[in-house]
Amino acid sequence: MNILNAVISGIVATLIFTMILMLAPKMGMPKMDIVSLLGSMFGKPNQALGWMMHLMMGVIFALIYAFLWSNGIGAATWTSGLVFGAAHWLVVGVVMAMIPMMHAGIKSGAVQAPGLWMTNNGGLMAFMGGLAGHMIFGAVVALVYAAL
């Protein structure tokens, strides 16, 4: 496992994934602004904190992917990345339902709770958008990691 390559691939994939989320409304999808959701987690909205948290999580997941690949679970290929991204979304989507327990903005009523797989924010379209975004994230992690 190459830690530096995993970190770089996680940053690149997270930037691409976040840009796709920002463009989602232009593609007929619901607004899926994870940066703002994370940035308002501790009170006053802070975009820099949201970006930092999202990039950090992307790096952590890329490290997990690289660790699994280096231990023979899948490989750094786009197909494996798609599968890892889908599994990633299934786990993260459940965590979305638990965010209200620790999110100051949701507790105060200033921010809407995303719900299970962000379905409070667009139903099936939000679920599918999140799934597609995480699959793209996984594929980009795999392709960048393999290229480095």
Give the count of beta carbons closer than 10 Å to the beta carbon of residue 54: 20
pLDDT above 90: residue 67 = yes
**Token pair for residue 65?**
């992917």
pLDDT value at 121 more than 90: no
The rounded radius of gyration (Å) of the Cα atoms in the chain is: 15
Q: Please check the confidence at residue 61 and state whether its pLDDT lies above 90.
A: yes
To the nearest 10 degrees (0 to 180), the angle between helices 3-23 and 123-147 is 150
| Gap between the Cα atoms of 25 and 46, Å rounded | 22
Taking residue 5's Cβ as centre, other Cβ atoms within 10 Å add up to 17
Q: How confident is the model at residue 131 (pLDDT cuts 50, 70, 90)?
A: very high
- The first and second tokens of residue 89, run together, are 């979304």
Q: How large is the average pLDDT for residues 58-71?
A: 98
pLDDT band at 4 (very low <50, low <70, confident <90, very high): very high
Q: Which two tokens stand for residue 42?
A: 């501790």
pTM, to two decimals: 0.93
Could you tell me if 105 and 43 are in contact, meaning their C-beta atoms sit under 8 angstroms apart? yes
The confidence score (pLDDT) of residue 110 equals: 87
pLDDT at 71: 97
Judged against a pLDDT cut of 90, whether residue 80 lies above it is answered with yes
